[in-house]
Amino acid sequence: MSYELIAALMFSTMMLMLLTGQRVFGAIGFVAVVAALLLWGDRGGYDLGFSAAMKLMKWYPLLTLPMFIFMGYVLSESRIADDLYKMFHVWMGGLSGGLAVGTIGLMVLISAMNGLSVAGMAIGATIALPELLRRNYDKRMVTGVIQAGSSLGILVPPSVVLVLYAMIARQPVGQLWLAGVVPGLMMAAMFILYIVIRCKITPSLGPALPPEERDMPMREKLRLLQAGLLPFGIFFAMMIPFVNGWTSLVESSAIGAMTAFGAAVLKGRMTREVFKNSVRNTLGISCMFMWIILAALAFGAVFDGLGAVKAIESLFTEKLGLNPWVILILMQLSFILMGTFLDDTAMLVIVAPLYVPLVGALGFDLIWYGVLYTITTQIAYMTPPFGYNLFLMRAMAPPEITLRDIYGSILPFVLVMIAALTLIICFPQIALWLPNWIYGS
């Protein structure tokens, strides 16, 4: 059997196991170890899994993963995120569509606190959605806003998914995070611009708050502003030392976790229940990511041993004669297709052994491609009929918001994200300027 056929058989077997509902790390790891045992015997098969585990345990930046997840859960469980929304409510309520704009701002800050899109979705659905519906905002508008805003969670640092990509692609986490800053803020600005223009044309979609609800003493407004800016302070306390080279990435993540914990204690919100929930959720998610990374490393090692990447590169460039840009676009389209039934982590670990080396062989920058991957997977998340975010929103939304409303709400925001993706493909420096500037100096 040729190596190309073995690689195709491995990939198809893994996809079949995933379709049966097996856990992602179990399906990928099982196929990797069985293939290694059949190809290289007992010693080769055992060594493969062991070396992947050792590589994972010795990857020092992985320590950032539980730190950032803990920071996010402390801030969400202690309800500090509520203060953010109250701030946006008072300061932006007078603008038509102002609360929707404030929700995007909330999502950006939640992303900077947690690094997971699910966290932004959960907070937006529990805090912002009931308030927007009560203020007579259009239900399609608000569900689209929350889904689009939560998509920033895996792009704006500290993105947990970019940590995973860095491990698999063997790229610096710090550069990937910095590469996500400008595209993430650009997408947030494009969402806000769309909301403002749409509500300007049709004010009934996002009515401004009446003056009596916004009128309060300036002293009270400033108090709310101070409370709402606390997450900003935590983020800058963590990132400024790292960007200036005073601390390492792991040290900065520890600063962020301790600063969030201290803020919750000082505000009197660090109860036993909050601490227990934060630690339990942090442990669960961290272990999930570690198992997935372990399985991906083992699977990638088999693919490297087979030379599958070189075979696929030869197929696309020599036999089919495809342009590198055409191959890149086909990769992005495959992500959108897989996003109909897989989440972003599963998509990455399934195709990374093939795509990441192929992208490098085609001459593209792997830092830039990491940003393309995150945006494309978020588009896939929100693409009907089976987008992951669509069903997550349906599970969290009240009964009056139907699945048809959720499908209809997301189209304009998907088009905005496609426009942003196109800009970054055409102008790679949108993503690469900041890491080149910081690391170059």
> pLDDT by residue (tens digit) across 277-330?
888 888 887 787 778 777 777 777 776 666 655 666 566 666 666 778 888 888
Label residue 21 by pLDDT band (50, 70, 90): low
Q: Is the pLDDT confidence value at 19 over 80?
A: no
Mean pLDDT of 153-157: 76
Whole-number Cα distances in Å, 122 to 110, 146, 194: 10, 9, 23
User: Mean pLDDT of all residues in the chain?
Assistant: 77
The beta-carbon contacts of 276-285 under 8 Å, at least 24 apart in sequence, are 277/73, 277/77, 278/70, 278/73, 278/74, 278/77, 279/70, 281/69, 281/73, 282/66, 282/69, 282/70, 282/73, 283/66, 285/69, 285/116, 285/160
Rounded to whole angstroms, the Cα distance separating 255 from 240 reads 11
Residue 423: predicted pLDDT: 93
Residue 135: predicted pLDDT: 75
| Rounded (5°) CA angle 283-338-155 | 55
Label residue 190 by pLDDT band (50, 70, 90): very high
Q: Is the pLDDT confidence value at 24 over 90?
A: no
Q: Which residue has the tokens 């992208």?
A: 359
Judge whether 153 and 114 are in contact, CB under 8 Å: yes
Residue 353: predicted pLDDT: 67
Q: Is the pLDDT confidence value at 106 over 60?
A: yes
Residue 368: predicted pLDDT: 92
Mean pLDDT of 251-276: 86
Residue 383: predicted pLDDT: 74
Q: Is the pTM of this model over 0.85?
A: no
Q: Is the pLDDT confidence value at 427 over 80?
A: yes
b (16+ CB within 10 A) / e for 215-226: eeeeeeeeebee
Label residue 65 by pLDDT band (50, 70, 90): confident
- Give the pair of three-digit tokens for residue 318: 């020599």
Mean pLDDT of 330-356: 71
Q: Which residue has the tokens 């203060």?
A: 83
